[in-house]
Amino acid sequence: MSSDRRRVAARVTARVLIPLAGVFIVKATGGELARFELRECLGLTYAAQPVHGTVEIPRGALKETARCTLRDGAGQALAAQVKAMDGWDDGSVRHARVSFLTELEPLAHKSFTLDDSGQAPPDDGTLTLTRGPDTLVLASPLAAVEIPGRRNWFGRGWITLDSSFRLQGRTVTVSDDGPIVKRVMVTSSYVKGAKSNTFVGDVCLHAVEVTLCRGEELVRIKESFSFPFTDLAPQEFAFDFYPGFEPDTSVCRPAWSAEGPTFDVGSSWDLQPYQGPMFPLHYDRDDTVGSLTPWSAHPQAWVHFGCYREAAGAEAEMAGVMITAPEAWDHIAYISPDDSWRLVQNPHAFFTMKRIKDVRLSVGRGGGLVAHFPLSTGAREWAFFVGGPFPRTTPLPAKAGETGEPRQNAAAPRDYFKAKVNHYAFNPLDRVKDWVLAWPEAPDVAYPHLYYSREEFEARRQTYNAWEGQKTVPALDDPAALAKLKDAVLQLADEAVQRMAVNPGPPHHVTQVVYPAANLADLLLGTDALSPDERNLLRARLAYMAYRLNWRGYWAPELGYAANPNMTSFCYDAVGLLGLLLADHPEAENWVRACTTEIDRELAGWISDDGAWIESLGYVRAAWHEHSMLMTALKHTGRRDYFRDPRVQKFFRYYFTAQTPPHPERGYQRTLAIIGHVFGMQAVDEFNVWARGLADGDPALSGALQWMWKEFGFGNSAEMKGRTLYRASGADFSHWFGGVRGLPPYKEIALNDPALEAVAPTDPGLRLGGRFRGFGAILNSHFGGRQETKLYLRQGAYYSHWDADQGGIVFWGKGAPLVLDHGYGEYHPWFHSRVNVNHMYDDDLGEVTACFAGEGGAFVQGDITLSRLSLREHAWVKEWPFKPEPINGRSLRTDWRRRIVFMKDPVPEGPNYLVVRDTVRGELPTEWVLWAYGAVADLQATPIRARGQFGVDLLVYLLDADKGTVNTGRLDFSAEPAWDARPKQTLIHLLRPAGRGTLAVLYPALPAETPPQVTPLHDGAVVRLSAGPRTDWVFLPESRATLEADGVRFEGHTGSFSKRQDGLHYMLDRQGTLTAEGLTLTCNTPCELRVQGNQAPGRASAAEATPTLVLAGPVSERITAATCEGAPVPLTREAGRVTLRLPPGREAFAFTLR
């Protein structure tokens, strides 16, 4: 690009914006070839810029385009360029591409006609194409480019390839040479081979289309390339800004600089104010300044780059790179778009992937500012920008009472470049000109219709107000309420469009405006509060939101444009909501389809077969707030009833099970368990929304969900008096219906039904819990009361917004929290109750490999290989009993298996406790960490007693003979905000030698309760626990074994036998055998059996196989019949054994004994 060919461009207003209605509508009449119009519909301003569009010419009307003339509405001939695209069968032109310059004022309407009068203005030479012996030069008063470059005008570019590549050939083709557009295609072919011209392998292509448009300060580049993918991508196109320009200042904060704001030139840069100084460029070392990504919503990465030479003074010009078409990039390496979608939306993969197509900018010692465009396989579209001069400072508005010289905005160069980015890259007229922002209203579309008709709204409003006991929600025709609604909707729509015209930013931010705009517009459009002009403006702005959010250059997981999973949900649920709202819009079906396609993908890929969601318990709500809203609207509008989807219902069951017992710190209201990223003890309003959605499909599950909603403390104002309900602040239904803007609680009418019947669950899956692959496992005892005992084991492949908490536990006993998690954000294993290797950070993922949830007992097993280890300490660790040992050539790999047997009692006050066996195989020492929610007076006692805060203590038995000294440490959470306070717990710490595991019993006890007698047998393979008249034998050998203790014989991996007040209890893992008290029990799947008198009920897991139980011994001889869930089941008797094969999918059974 040539700096001597640029001139000062006409000033472009910073409000360079927006879109239009249906453009290039053909209305050929008389001697006209085509007639089309541009209509600005959003009340915004467009500066002059090129527009390109295609029109259809009547058959036989035009033989060639040379005589074509474009005229404005007054008949004035305009400078234009017309190019034939294809023809009719008689050889006449059918479609022609028309290029011209125009501007648009707010709400302006312009019409144009195309004829063949031959009266077009002559080419005035503003754009030139000069052919030399070896070069082509495209030039305008604003920019110029030499192809291929032989001279250094301003900057220079070159191709760098692996040494095995050789240039086979290059073609240069001029495809457009008119007064508006000059376009050249350069195609280079390369092959791998020796210098002897013996070529081997496939041909690799690099095609570059270079475009110069009249009135633009850009040299547009469109590339496609087909080089082999390599991680290092040594092939690249490089461009050095330094020769002939020598920039010394950037509008982007260098990656290595401590100067300036904490954000970069991404969406945060676009949306957050900054008035500080620009950033010096230094050439004192070889270094990376930063990198460009085409993903415009990225908050902390460069999306565009600009630099200038401050030493050149007031006439200095700015140059840089703009990503003009991010939808034309694929900025990560992938096999297919579907594969990319899967990888990007798996956060563990996403955050470790190299974006090999990002553009790195480097500086060189003594000079050189190089943009490195990698050449692998794919495409991209971008542009060089050259412009100026520009101001260095601009005055800031005076604050109230401020006198003297006005304060100055030192970021004026950045603001200048930002305006150019908006004009050329993010919101150009040529992109949005085809968006339909004015369309006829269909008479059969009545408002409101998203969640209710007008009549349904009124009926629900009256029902809700009666339940609430006061007139909380006014009628739609209430004048005061209507005026407030109108003001809110118009303000929201304006905020959304103004923001999107600059940069929408991440979806979870911009939808805080889009969702209420759509939901409240549904109400407002059903009234006569809007004038015709206001109505048209509102509809146009709502359509603009849908177009912008559905633009592939904004959010597209298949291109790598995505972040945390919930953000994709935010984006496409908003697109779908707008499609449902604007039901008569030509794109409405496509918008709704984009939403349902995304939901279907998420249900298939983000919910495990057990129902766990891909993100943490807190961030589940970030996705399911909007999913619940959309599913309600989709059901009401007759599109689809997702509430009947089996995977949706599995998710509801998972989330039901994941809630805490009634919390003594919250007035015995249940809360969202703080595991992973959870802000405070949240109350989950979604349960009522789900209950309403399920009421006509699964009344039993609906009643259980409504019961859980009530357990959180929800109710009317009188019922909730004195209760504390903490709700998430970022994604909340009340936000999306105007609650934060002082509007009535319309969301209660749209989504909720507080009058549904609440029914305590009887479903064993809801009461007992089980395995939830991806998350881990959740096991319950005495569910439904205030003395629940509950275990959470976090062990699974789901990664988003979880901490380094694999294998960690949370434990409640007799209704009291005893072992809690420290939550999220520190990413340190030792902040969780788990095993850590050598006090080193790990980033590995495991899975629950066995689980059984029974009435009288349960067990779970998790496995993980820890090998991604690194040294990292946290500032909050003030004291710790162990520091990492030197590796000294030892393997980092440690295999860790955690098995927990959950022993239950018929009464909640009885022995409901855990036996924990950690098996470790590796060459490094490990730490066994337990965080007890209580004070410990003596760490060397047996048992260690952690005095609980709510009337229940935790007794910790550490049963390894070589356990050594028990230690503790100290964390300082004082820096945490009050709304995200961490529990103050006591560390119980064991240091274990390499390859040595840990055996422990965690026993909840009342303060005056006598501790049970706990005895390890067979070197810890068996634990015997005696508490009053009850005795338990728990079998947990490190590997499958045959053991006998006190006459109880066991063969297998995990099992238990108990003598209790309600009889004898047997429990086995799959393929195990247990013999005690005259009965031998064998089963191919995990199972339990309780024998008392002439009844022997039990459960067997049917998750992986059809259960088959074999019983032998004197007790089996007393069996007379068997039932399965109340229905008789045949028995097989052979060789003194009784065999029961359960029907497929069934788990509960019972024997009758004589």
Count of alpha carbons within 13 Å of 809, Cβ hemisphere only? Answer: 32
Q: Which pLDDT belongs to residue 432?
A: 86
Taking 60 as the threshold, does the pLDDT of residue 29 lie above it? no
pTM above 0.95, yes or no: no
- pLDDT 10s digits, 598-611: 999 999 999 999 99
- pLDDT 10s digits, 1124-1136: 988 999 999 999 9
Q: Which pLDDT belongs to residue 290?
A: 86
Q: Which residues pair with 1073 in a beta bridge?
A: 1051, 1082
- pLDDT 10s digits, 344-389: 566 555 555 556 678 889 999 989 999 999 888 788 999 999 999 9
Q: Which pLDDT belongs to residue 153?
A: 59
The burial of 568, by beta-carbon neighbours within 10 Å (0-12 exposed, 13-18 middle, 19 or more buried), is given as buried
Taking 50 as the threshold, does the pLDDT of residue 17 lie above it? no
Please answer whether residues 513 and 492 qualify as being in contact, where contact means their C-beta atoms are separated by less than 8 angstroms.
yes
Rounded to whole angstroms, the Cα distance separating 1109 from 1079 reads 12
Q: Which pLDDT belongs to residue 720?
A: 85
Fold of the CATH domain 1-122? Immunoglobulin-like (2.60.40)
Taking 60 as the threshold, does the pLDDT of residue 4 lie above it? no
- Picking from 986, 947, 982, the residue whose alpha carbon sits closest to that of residue 966 is 986
Rounded to whole angstroms, the Cα distance separating 264 from 301 reads 6
Q: Which pLDDT belongs to residue 21?
A: 36
Rounded to whole angstroms, the Cα distance separating 228 from 199 reads 16
Taking 60 as the threshold, does the pLDDT of residue 885 lie above it? yes
- pLDDT 10s digits, 1033-1061: 999 999 999 999 999 999 999 999 999 99
Coil, helix or strand at residue 396: coil
Taking 70 as the threshold, does the pLDDT of residue 331 lie above it? no
- pLDDT 10s digits, 265-305: 455 556 667 888 999 999 999 988 888 888 877 766 788 89
Q: Which pLDDT belongs to residue 980?
A: 67
Taking 60 as the threshold, does the pLDDT of residue 231 lie above it? no
The burial of 684, by beta-carbon neighbours within 10 Å (0-12 exposed, 13-18 middle, 19 or more buried), is given as buried
Tokens of 1066: 């047997």
- Read off the pLDDT band of 534 (50, 70, 90): very high
Q: Which pLDDT belongs to residue 30?
A: 47
Angle between helices 617-636 and 507-524 (to 10 degrees): 30
> Averaged over 129-150, what is the pLDDT?
84
- pLDDT 10s digits, 418-457: 889 889 988 888 988 889 999 999 999 999 999 999 999 9
Tokens of 553: 């250059």
Which range is least confidently modeled, 263-272, 528-537, 748-757? Answer: 263-272
Mean pLDDT of the chain: 89
List the domain boundaries for the chain: 1-122, 128-397+405-430, 763-1008
Taking 60 as the threshold, does the pLDDT of residue 263 lie above it? no
- pLDDT 10s digits, 620-670: 999 999 999 999 999 999 999 999 999 999 999 999 999 999 999 989 999
- Read off the pLDDT band of 336 (50, 70, 90): low
Residue 307 one-letter amino acid? C
Rg value, the chain, Cα:
35
CATH class of the domain comprising 763-1008:
mainly beta
Which range is least confidently modeled, 192-201, 602-611, 722-731, 927-936? Answer: 192-201
Rounded to whole angstroms, the Cα distance separating 561 from 341 reads 9
Coil, helix or strand at residue 579: helix
Element (H, E) at 520: helix 507-524
